Amino acid sequence: MAASLWRTSSCILRRSLTISSVRCASGPPSKAVDQHKGKFPSDDCQIPDSLGHSVGVERYELLAKEAGNDDPFQMKPIKRAKGTFDEPTIVTSPNAKRMIGCICEEDSLTINWMYVHKGEPKRCECGYWFKLADAPVQEYN
Amino acid sequence: MQLHPFHLVEYSPWPLLNSFGILCMPVGLVYYIRGGSMTLLLLGLVAVAIISFLWWRDVTRESTLQGLHSSYVVKGLKVGVFLFIVSEVCFFFAFFWAYFHSSLAPSVEIGSTWPPVGIATLETFQVPLLNTSVLLLSGVSITWAHHSIEEGDHKNAMQGLGLTLALGFYFVFLQYGEYMETSFSIADSVYGSTFFIATGFHGLHVIVGATFLTVCFMRLILMHFDKKHHVGFLAAAWYWHFVDVVWLFLYVSIYWWGSFPDSLCKALIL
């Protein structure tokens, strides 16, 4: 009991001492950000439009659409290229692999799902080739 | 930046905790009605109020402050709210079914007539009619608030939503007065049962809708909405219109048609 009490209290003490010493050593605290600055409605400050208000993914999507990219998350199906070994259909991803689905023929009733890996062209069982290329993350500012 | 448009939610204690809080309410209500103390009912109410506040706070942070609600997420939320309202329609459908089952072919035990023998119904064209106009007016004022938000007019949005809230609470106040006036109780024949179940659950829904609108009002003050993205407000408005429509059916079928003096008269109308 005594041992566990000592462990707990020394742990708490050590942590608070470490944190406060680090805080003291790193200079005066930064100024608090006023979250509501410029956001109070007045005659010239009203309900904003989406671009003046959004943050995060929501903003990313809006900016992408503004820049002419109407599919920033690559949710839409892409058209197959020639699909030979020399000219495969290029699929992009920032990751090492991506799951794709091939609609082998126009009247196919099923989709063939498979993984494509970077640097390793893949052939669907129907004969078309796919290749995974880098997709640099697009920044919109 | 994430490369998918979805909001992968994190663990949240609120759904489970709120379920327990909501469970406390009907159990506490029955206990209180049967002569027990009010403690469990109050505990349930307070717990649900606190947990709902915290849940709303979290969702607000995720959507407005973290921007996690992309257009795909918004679409899902809207479908979710719509399906929820459909389930609410089914809920009220059951009570209307019970009401019409008992009133269209009144059984011999209640005098083969509707309203049953010995039931003095409420006056149709007094407070219930006022209630109808109050709710219809609140439907207009919430549309005023909605258009103002889309126009970016903060002042008018505040006025429209404020008026809607006031009308909502006025409706609850009037219904409370009506409940005090009734000469029958929930235990007085199938009339009392269907009347209080249907109008009582409607009143509860008005209180919930008014709470939702209050949250929207606070968020409007905090400038959480923009011209295009205001799903919280939209959901509250849909819900409010739903409650409004349910009242119209209640008024026409229970307060009005249900208080015609004899069943022959009703047969002629039908």
- What gap in Å lies between CA B157 and CA B220, rounded to an integer? 8
Q: Which CATH homologous superfamily contains domain A89-134?
A: Cytochrome c oxidase, subunit Vb (2.60.11.10)
Domain count along chain B: 2
Tell me the residue type at A85: F
Partners of A46 on chain B (C-beta within 8 Å) are 152-154
Residue B78: alpha-carbon gap to chain centroid: 18
Q: What is the CATH number of the domain that holds B19?
A: 1.10.287.70
**So what's the pLDDT on residue A5?**
85
User: Residues B19, B125: one domain?
Assistant: no
pLDDT at residue A33, rounded to an integer: 64
> For B35-49, how does the pLDDT look when each residue is reduced to its tens digit (9 = 90+)?
999 999 999 999 999
| Cross-chain residue pair A48–B223, CB shorter than 8 Å | yes
Which residues of A fall within a CB distance of 8 Å from B229?
50, 53-54, 58
Q: What is the mean pLDDT of residues B219-227?
A: 92
Claim to verify: residue B42 and residue B86 sit in the same structural domain: no
Which pLDDT score, from 0 to 100, does residue B265 have?
57
Interface check for B5 against chain A (CB to CB < 8 A): the answer is yes
Return the amino acid letter for B247: W
B8 touches chain A (CB under 8 A): no
Q: Quick one: tokens of B62?
A: 């995720």
Tens place of pLDDT for every residue, chain A, 141 residues?
788 888 888 888 888 888 778 777 777 666 666 655 555 566 666 888 888 889 989 999 999 999 998 888 888 898 888 989 999 999 988 889 999 999 999 899 999 999 999 999 999 999 999 999 987 777 776
A14–chain B nearest CA distance, Å: 31
- Which among B31, B49, B68 is the end of a domain? B68
Residue from the list A40, A53, A137 with its beta carbon closest to the beta carbon of B1:
A137
C-alpha distances in Å from residue B211, one per residue of A9, A15, B49, B216:
45, 43, 10, 9
Token representation of residue B204: 């509860």
Structural domain containing residue B162 = 71-266
Alpha helices in chain A (DSSP H): 2-25, 56-66
Q: Is the pLDDT of residue B270 over 60?
A: no
Q: Are B164 and B240 in contact (CB under 8 A)?
A: yes
**B85 Cα to chain A: minimum distance (Å):** 26
Q: Is A127 left (phi over 0), alpha (psi -120 to 50) or beta?
A: left
- Residue B70, pLDDT score: 95
Task: Answer whether B138's CB lies under 8 Å from B240's CB.
Answer: yes
- In this prediction the pTM is 0.84
Average pLDDT of the segment spanning B121-140 = 95
**Residues from chain B contacting residue A54 (CB–CB below 8 Å):** 67, 226, 229
B71 → closest Cβ in A55, A61, A137: A61
Q: Give the burial string for A2-23 (b: 16+ CB within 10 Å, else e).
A: eeeeeeeeeeeeeeeeeeeeee
pLDDT higher than threshold 60 for residue B267: no
B148 and B31, same domain (yes or no): no
Nearest CA among B206, B202, B196 for reference residue B167? B206
ipTM reported for the complex, 2 dp: 0.85
Q: Where in chain A is CATH 2.60.11.10?
A: 89-134
DSSP SS3 for A93: strand
Question: Of B68, B92, B115, which residue sits at a domain end?
Answer: B68
**Contact between chains at B226 and A54 (C-beta distance less than 8 A):** yes
Mean of per-residue pLDDT scores for chain B: 94
* Whether residue B178 is found in the same domain as residue B131: yes
pLDDT at residue B22 tops 80? yes
Contacts 24+ apart (CB under 8 A), B135-140: B135/B167, B135/B171, B135/B243, B135/B244, B135/B247, B135/B248, B136/B244, B137/B167, B138/B163, B138/B164, B138/B167, B138/B168, B138/B171, B138/B240, B138/B244, B139/B240, B139/B241, B139/B244
Question: In the predicted model, is pLDDT for residue B268 greater than 70?
Answer: no
Judge if B221 and B165 occupy the same domain.
yes
pLDDT at A43: 64
CATH of the domain at B235: 1.20.120.80
Contact A50/B227, CB-based, under 8 Å?
yes
Cβ–Cβ gap B68/A57 under 8 Å: yes
Q: How far apart are CA A96 and CA A101, in angstroms?
A: 17
Q: Where does a domain end: B42, B68, B94?
A: B68
Q: Is any Cβ of chain A less than 8 angstroms from the Cβ of B61? A: no
**Per-residue pLDDT at B261 exceeds 90:** no
